[in-house]
Amino acid sequence: MKKSFDKGFVAPHPVFIIATYDENGEPNAMNAAWAGQAGPNQITISLSPHNTTDNIKRNMEFTVGYATVDTVAACDYVGMVSKNKVPNKLEVCGLTTTKSERVNAPIINELPVSIECKVVKIEEEFGENRVVAEIVGAVADESVLTEGKVDFGKVPLITFDTVSLCYREVGDSVGGAWGAGKKFLG
Ligand SMILES: Cc1cc2nc3c(=O)[nH]c(=O)nc-3n(C[C@H](O)[C@H](O)[C@H](O)COP(=O)(O)O)c2cc1C
């Protein structure tokens, strides 16, 4: 038997940590769950008005770091507090940054993998800013590489559970893509 619900949900959700520079060139970061990949090289993010939203509109560039088990408290905190109210919010939660070489945005040092993004368009829809951005590069800690490629088996990624309102650890590989299904091919 299945139970039917009137409200749906998407799972698993990514935990994007968007990093930007504010109007004074100071780094900021926020947590964004209403986000995902759209096509091979683009992402979309749905943003309400935030310090980060203003920064993205001004700079048209940002990075996205992937939240991890080790950084869960800091990644949650940057989603709870605005830089408009707590100007040193990154310092408070122990996050540090280095400027990206590809875009005018900070990379969060404590997050092992980040992508660098340039805005393609921002549409205001349903009171939200729908940001579409091109992924122009990525940076990753040497410690999470295997044979020169990012190895997500070495990155303790977390996902956002929108039903229980908690973060869950992403687990091990359970089968190859375009591989596990081969046993059903003729
Ligand atoms: C789990 C989680 C997910 C969130 N997802 C989004 C989101 O997708 N879009 C959004 O506009 N705000 C989202 N927020 C809220 C912002 O991260 C939050 O308002 C943040 O304090 C904005 O910071 P800023 O004003 O310094 O940019 C989320 C917060 C949390 C904790």
Summarised one tens digit per residue, pLDDT across range 19-65 is: 999 999 999 999 999 999 999 999 999 999 999 999 999 999 999 99
In 64-155, which residue ranges form alpha helices assigned H by DSSP? 72-77, 89-92
CA nearest to 120, candidates 49, 174, 41: 41
Q: pLDDT band for position 181 (50/70/90)? A: very high
The domain limits of the chain are 16-184
Pairwise CA distance, residues 184 & 44, whole Å: 34
DSSP-derived letter for residue 174 is -
Residue 74 Cβ < 6 Å to ligand 1: no
Question: Is the entire prediction scored with pTM above 0.95?
Answer: yes
For 18, phi then psi, to 5°, come to: -85, 125
User: SS3 of 77, please?
Assistant: helix
Residue 16 Cβ < 6 Å to ligand 1: no
CATH classification code of 16-184: 2.30.110.10
What's the pLDDT score for residue 55? 98
Q: 21, 24, 30: which to mutate for ligand 1, most atoms within 8 A of CB?
A: 30
